[in-house]
Structure 1
């Protein structure tokens, strides 16, 4: 794909995800007075809030915003299938997994959240989570219905 077309596609994807990104900015900003900090990660097409002070740990993506309880997206984590005991898999980088969700939002925009919840939410059965794990393991296949 030519560079100009790729750049235009990214801009359109970011614009399409703006309502969800605004939600992510609100969620992330709520943690700022409690020690969270934000920065832009161009490689992930996202604004990342690190050290978000609430929740069980890990990360969640809203549009082009990643809200993370840890210090770095380079942290290793297990896949959903591994955690569920379905199979043994190598550890993945949490940032790679969340980048897949950013891409999914850039395609689906506001449709992502209802589809994500309809297909199982935070679960190893959810095709969005399986695709994000596949992408984090292989660097390919972030779309839920690709191979």
Structure 2
């Protein structure tokens, strides 16, 4: 199919001993595992395993898709209210997890020494106040942090306007 999850079976080999077959998903959020066909002990075939996920995103998914479908904005709101929240990215090496979570900012400092970064950071703090701006392609994490601080600032401003202490 167009999403790369078609009706074919994918076989993963582990060492010399055996293989595991990944079955096509029943839906977009479930993955089945069938190792019975490769089991050495036919008297006790392994139980089928199914893994379910809240959200599954393919390579065509944008950061905005992930932000919207994973409801990151709502999670930020819950963090402001005092709840804990986690956004977990899992996938094959090179599949784009870091880019998705951090955006292009993760590439901005590639090859720059830590001493140079520290010196530049010290100088910029002396010259300007920190801002909440991020680059044109922020990842999920920088965007969530920015939104978290904006919401905290809003809550403080509302508390001051309501006569509360800052």
TM over 0.5: no
Query: TM-score band (shorter)?
Result: under 0.3
Higher helix share: 1
| Bigger Rg over Cα | 2
Q: TM-score, normalised by structure 2?
A: 0.21
Q: Which structure has more RCO (C-alpha within 8 Å, separation ≥ 6)?
A: 1
